Amino acid sequence: MPRMNAAQRHGVDFTLNGRKVRAEAENRMLLSDLLRHEIGLTGTHVGCEHGVCGACTVQIDGKPARACLTLAQQVRGSDVRTVEALAPAPAELSPLQAAFRRHHGLQCGFCTPGILMSLDTLLRERPEAGREDIREHLSGHLCRCTGYATIVEAALAAAEEQRKEETPNA
């Protein structure tokens, strides 16, 4: 790793939502700030800046990570995915997003992007995930509006739908 000067901005090359990007950041800049204020993808939200609320969760190389606890420089060469990458097309929703809408899994929507990124990882890695797996993954997120029940229902519905699609007429 090259030695970096704290007083200067340094380039950060990484893949963001499938596209190569090059941004500049001071050593101390958080990934959440880089995404939101340097690159302009404001879908990743910042709720606590100490890793508890989970609103800023993104995927780094396929794993959920708190963007507020990650320095921008740490994602050099990584593959970063944010909530903006979930929908298959601009006017469409992914099955998980659609289930959230159907089940009223959101109110103010501020915690939602982080929750979607965690659940997206879970459903990709463990398609058989049931209620308890979903609850466990949601326990890293704080939602103040919904009381969680509709989020769990939405996730269960999305998991069910995904299983049906993967085993058509099995």
Partner 1 sequence: MTRLETAGGMIGRSVPRVEDAGLLTGRGRYIDDLPVRRDTAHLAVLRSPHGHAEIRAIDMTAARALPGVFAVLTGEDVARLTRSMTVGVKANVECWPIARDRVRYVGEPVALVVAENRYVAEDALDLIEVVYERLIAIVDPEKALAADAPVLHPSLGTNLINERSFRYGDPETAISTAAHRVSIRIAYPRNSCTPIETYGVIAEYDPGEDAYDVTANFQGPFSIHAVISRALNVPGNRMRLRTPPDSGGSFGIKQGVFPYVILAAVAARVAGRPVKWIEDRLEHLTASVSATNRVTTLEAAVAADGRITALSWDQLEDCGAHLRAPEPATLYRMHGNMTGAYAIENVAIRNRVVLTNKTPTGLNRGFGGPQVYFALERLVHKIADNLGLDRLAVIRRNLVPADAFPYRTATGGLLDSGDYQTAIDRACQEGGLEALRLRRDQARAEGRLYGIGYAAVVEPSVSNMGYITTVLTPDERAKAGPKNGAQSVATVAIDPLGSVTVKVASVPQGQGHRTVLAQVVAERLGLPLEAVRVNTELDTARDAWSIASGNYASRFAAAVAGAAALAADRIRDRLAAIAASQLNVTADRIDFRAGKLFDRDNPDNAISFGRVAAASHWAPGTLPDGTGQTIRETVFWTPEQLEAPTAADGINSSLCHGFIFDICGVEIDRATGQVRIDRYVTMHDCGRILHPGMVDGQVRGGFAQAVGAALYEEYAYGGDGSFLTGTLADYLIPTVMETPEPLILHHETPSPFTPLGAKGVGEGNCMSTPVCIANAVADALGVEDIRLPLSPSRVSEWLYGEERPPSKPQDSIPVATGASGERLLTGSGSAEVVATRESVWTMLLDPNTLKAIIPGAHEVRKVSDTHFRAEVTLGIGPVKGRYRADIRLSDMLAPEAVTLSGGTEGALGSGRGTGRVTLTETAIGTRIDYRYEAAIGGKVASVGGRLLDGAARVVIGQFFQALARHAGGGGPPSAAAGFTQRLSSLFRRRR
Helix (H, G, I), strand (E, B) or coil at 90: coil
Give whichever of 147 and 168 is closer to partner 1, judged by the CB atom: 147
Q: How far is the CB of 103 from partner 1 (least distance, A)?
A: 9
By the rule CB under 8 A, 16 interacts with partner 1: no
Of positions 9, 26, 74, 163, contacts partner 1 by CB under 8 A = 26
> DSSP E strands: which ranges in the chain?
9-16, 19-26, 57-60, 63-66, 79-81
Which of residues 49 and 161 has its CB atom nearest to partner 1 in the complex? 49
Q: Which of 106, 108, 2, 16 is nearest to 59 (CA)?
A: 16
Nearest in space to 122 (alpha carbons), one of 63, 45, 61, 56: 63
Q: Which of 57, 97, 118, 121 binds partner 1 (CB under 8 A)?
A: 97
Q: How many CA atoms lie within 13 A of 103 on its CB side?
A: 20
Number of residues interacting with partner 1: please give it, by CB under 8 A.
Answer: 53
Min CB(77)–partner 1 separation in Å: 24
CA-wise closest residue to 113 among 151, 163, 150, 147:
151
**What DSSP line would sit under 45-61, residue for residue?**
--S-SSSSS-TTEEEET
x/- map, 109-138, partner 1, by CB under 8 A: xxxxx--x------------------x--x
Q: Compute how many other C-beta atoms are within 10 angstroms of the C-beta atom of residue 17.
A: 16
Residue choice 39, 71, 93, 156 for contact with partner 1 (CB under 8 A): 93
Q: Indicate the pairing of strand 9-16 with strand 79-81.
A: parallel
65 lines the binding site for partner 1 (CB under 8 A): no
Q: Please report how close the Cβ of residue 64 comes to partner 1 at its closest, in angstroms.
A: 15
Q: List interacting residues with partner 1 (CB under 8 A).
A: 26, 28-29, 36, 41-50, 52-53, 55, 82-84, 86-87, 93, 97, 100-102, 104, 106-113, 116, 135, 138-152
